[in-house]
Amino acid sequence: MEELIDVLDENGVLTGEILPRSEVHKKGLWHRSIVVAIVNENNQILLQQRSNNKDKNAGMWDISVAGHLSTGQDSLSAAAREINEEVSVMLGYKTEIKDFRYMYSFRKEQVIREDYIERQFYDLFILRAFGLDDRVLNFQESEVQAIKFTDLMEIEKMIERKGIVDRPEVYGVLIKYLFKF
């Protein structure tokens, strides 16, 4: 069954309309998504290589987790759900809401294809998670084909080579945040 999404107006306010994800993109309607950068104790960021079966950015490296809010869901709940779904990090009782650092929100419009238009409000979080090892993390193969921890220098090289999903709004904030540590 296809994910249902709350439609927003151009200011990010709920319209009351609920549509399947494919319809939201086909019509180019505003909706909300989350982006989470998972950072380990070595200040390395977990990256995922998107599945070759994805509608956009197939096979490219991307930030730890990104996804849509399901109908009625808040951004923090969506972040926890997407982390569990995509990279199987069970947050459990060791991770608390205070472990998520809300960084900021931004909006982005992008025409992927004539029948796939993104108009999204993103909420960016950083999750400091210690003791994670990418060799033992599982991932959802329909969404992700590989994962790895990498440092800022490698991410900057990937950006220059265009080997990572184009998210300048995310990488700029992430780089500034991690330079503090």
Instruction: Give the C-alpha distances (Å, rounded to integers) separating 134 from 12, 43, 48.
Output: 35, 14, 10
Residue 85: its H or E element: helix 75-87
20-50, pLDDT tens digit by residue?
999 999 999 999 999 999 998 899 999 999 9
The mean predicted confidence, pLDDT, of the chain is 89
* Number of domains forming the structure of the chain: 1
Kindly report the pTM of this predicted structure.
0.89
Output the six-digit token pair for 25: 């993109």
Average pLDDT score over residue span 150-170: 92
77-120, pLDDT tens digit by residue?
899 888 888 887 655 545 566 778 999 999 999 999 999 999 99
Cβ atoms of 73 and 82 within 8 Å: the answer is no
Average pLDDT score over residue span 52-58: 87
Domain that holds residue 171: 4-178
- Residue type present at position 36: V
Other Cβ atoms within 10 Å of 40 Cβ, number: 16
19-29 burial, b at 16+ Cβ within 10 Å, e below that, comes to beeeebbeeeb
Q: What is the CATH number of the domain that holds 131?
A: 3.90.79.10
